[in-house]
Amino acid sequence: MNASPDLNPGGDGRPSSVVVRIYQLAARDDFDRAGFFDLYDHDKVVLGSAAVARTDIAIRPGEQLRFSRELDPKTRDVAVVAAYRDIDAAHWRAVADVSAPGTHALSVELGASAVAISDAYEKPPGYWGKLKKFVKPVWTALGSALSVFPAAAMPNTEMPKMEVPKMER
């Protein structure tokens, strides 16, 4: 979570801290429809069972926070609400879809009056990813072993050229 140095300016332009609320949501429809004050003051009523978990954090201008959370298995989206002073002029909410299996590295950016969330998603290795770890060393060893036999050592046969395909990690 990264806060801009000019975070949440007051009437005099001086930056100030902001409270950020992070939700794990099983569904986001009610979150998307809710107004700021209904959501902030009555989130349990507005979100109901869609709210799987909630965390409140106060962050200062220019501050960077790093933390790790296990997502509840029911979580499909992570939503962020920033309680900016001038809420009517602010972009106060953001949502990231975390329904795909794998590692989700979320980054929350808090600007002067806007919040954004992004996900550096890492897909888990599928079948080919697991198989490749086994096949690559075997294929490399096989290619090396076959190259030891020169074609001249085998009468009446021609040794076919064998290309070992390059495999990516």
Per-residue pLDDT for 101 more than 80? yes
Per-residue pLDDT for 48 more than 60? yes
Per-residue pLDDT for 1 more than 60? yes
pLDDT at 74: 95
Residue 147 tokens read as: 């190259």
Higher pLDDT, 48 or 151: 48
pLDDT at 168: 53
- The number of C-alpha atoms within 13 Å of 72 and in the hemisphere containing its C-beta is 15
CA gap 83, 61 in Å, rounded: 14
Strand, coil or helix: 32: helix
pLDDT at 13: 93
Higher pLDDT, 127 or 53: 53
Q: How large is the average pLDDT for residues 17-24?
A: 98
pLDDT at 35: 97
How far apart, in Å, are the Cα atoms of 117 and each of 68, 152, 155? Answer: 15, 65, 68
pLDDT at 169: 45
Beta carbons of 14 and 122 less than 8 angstroms apart: no
Closest by alpha carbon to 6, among 58, 88, 61, 86?
A: 61
pLDDT at 55: 95
User: Over the stretch 106-152, which tens digit does the pLDDT of each residue have?
Assistant: 999 999 999 999 988 777 666 555 555 655 665 566 556 555 555 55
Confidence bin at 165 (pLDDT 50/70/90): low
What are the residue ranges spanned by the domains of the chain? 2-119, 125-169
Burial class (CB in 10 A: 0-12, 13-18, 19+), 37: exposed
Per-residue pLDDT for 7 more than 80? yes
pLDDT at 148: 56
**Where does 2-119 sit in CATH, by number?**
2.60.40.4150
Strand, coil or helix: 43: helix
